[in-house]
Structure 1
Amino acid sequence: MKKTVHAILNILGTILIFVVLIGILVNANSAPEGKGFFGFKGYTVLSNSMQPTFSAGDYVVDKMVAYDEIKKGDVVSYYPDDYTIVTHRVKEVTPQGFIMQGDANNAQDDFTVTKDHYIGKMILVIPMLGRLPDLLMNKYLWIAGAILILGIVIYGEFQRRAQRREGV
């Protein structure tokens, strides 16, 4: 039984490490001018302008599909300036570019998205994943984690000592 639990925990730990590494690589290459990671970019949502599709704190993954493939109704990311990334729905495709609007907004965006400002098409939303960095900065979480690890180590040591006494 112990070997089975240990094997399952090893597999889950390996999967978790793999997912975290992929996330780090996607995030590290997600700047607007970045090349992405195998054609994908990811962003943390900062506002509720696209509710109920996604909310602040969610993580959006974009696929870098060609600008010409985008159609009305697609959700795309773009950067209107050097400091902002916006992910909204295409309301209209015009010769000048995409007319955009957040699902929760009453008005269209002031910015028409051209090929120069287009990033990618949203393909996935991971709820609340964007809150993870803030959560990891919480000192109480780190204290609780340290206490949990210490408890596991102490429990393991007591188990080893009990086994040695039984074996003697």
Structure 2
Amino acid sequence: MKKRAMKIISTLFVTLIIGSIAFLLFVTYQSHKNPSEIPSFFGYKPLTVLTNSMVPKISAGDMILVKETESSSLTEGDVITFQLSDKTLITHRIVKVNDGSFTTKGDNNNVADEWEVKPQDILGQVEYTIPNAGYAAKFVTSKLGFSLFVLFPLLLFVLIEVYQRVFRYLDKRDDTAANDL
């Protein structure tokens, strides 16, 4: 029973480590391939929210998944992420659909934004919000986070493998000694 449990745990760790490394390699590749673009995963762009302008729906530190959407399908009430002329990304709700542009407002703001959002400035529509995941993403991209997220599980995997090999060796030795009697 112990052997089977260790094998399951080992398999889970291997899968987690390989998946994590593959994910990080994919992110690194996409970041270096197009440094001016936000990496996309299956059509979703993960972004970390920096302000509380969309509270209570979205808070600072949340991660949002933005899906590229045709501007013609956007309606009043949709939450979108768009880029201002200075390359700042904003996530606000559409409060008015104008002829060829949109008026937006943060849920936590008293007045609508002073700018009009043009279709070409829209990154996409917010599809999902993951509370506080932005903090985790920021941590994982730090040196300490990378060490804990990749190197620590890798070390743990190596230790489990060594433990299993030693355990198998000792088990075989005990079986051989028992057969010799």
TM normalised by structure 1 equals 0.73
Q: Distance in 2 between matches of 1:24 and 1:125?
A: 23
Q: What secondary structure, in the 3-state scheme, does the structure 2 residue paired with 1:87 have?
A: strand
Is the 1:27–1:41 contact (alpha carbons within 8 Å) kept by the matching residues of 2?
no
Is structure 2 residue 136 aligned with structure 1 residue 132? Answer: yes
CA RMSD after TM alignment: 3.7
Residues 45, 22 of structure 1: alpha-carbon distance in 2 compared, 3 angstrom cutoff: farther
Is the 1:27–1:43 contact (alpha carbons within 8 Å) kept by the matching residues of 2?
no
Name the residue aligned to 1:122. 126
In our comparison, the structure showing a higher alpha carbon Rg is 2
Q: Deviations over 1:114-137 (max 9, x none)?
A: 123222111112222322343232
Q: Which structure has greater strand proportion? A: 1
Aligned length: 167
Q: Deviations over 1:60-91 (max 9, x none)?
A: 22221111111000001111223300010001
Q: Which structure has greater helix proportion? A: 2
Is structure 2 residue 89 aligned with structure 1 residue 85? Answer: yes
Name the residue aligned to 2:55. 51
Q: Deviations over 1:91-134 (max 9, x none)?
A: 11122521111111111111111123222111112222322343
Is structure 2 residue 91 aligned with structure 1 residue 69? Answer: no
Residues 108, 154 of structure 1: alpha-carbon distance in 2 compared, 3 angstrom cutoff: same
Map 1:17-36 to 2 at 5 A: 17=21, 20=24
Q: Relative to structure 2, which stretch is displaced further, 137-146 or 80-89? A: 137-146
Residues 147, 94 of structure 1: alpha-carbon distance in 2 compared, 3 angstrom cutoff: closer
Aligned AA (2:129)? V
Q: Relative to structure 2, which stretch is displaced further, 155-164 or 46-55? A: 155-164
Q: Distance in 1 between matches of 2:149 and 2:68?
A: 40
Q: Relative to structure 2, which stretch is displaced further, 130-139 or 147-156? A: 147-156
Aligned AA (2:45)? K
Q: What secondary structure, in the 3-state scheme, does the structure 2 residue paired with 1:116 have?
A: helix
Structure 2: 5+ residue runs without aligned partners?
A: none
Structure 1: 5+ residue runs without aligned partners?
A: none
Is the 1:30–1:42 contact (alpha carbons within 8 Å) kept by the matching residues of 2?
no
Residues 51, 40 of structure 1: alpha-carbon distance in 2 compared, 3 angstrom cutoff: same
Q: Distance in 1 between matches of 2:102 and 2:108?
A: 18
Map 1:94-133 to 2 at 5 A: 94-95=98-99, 97-133=101-137
TM normalised by structure 2 equals 0.69
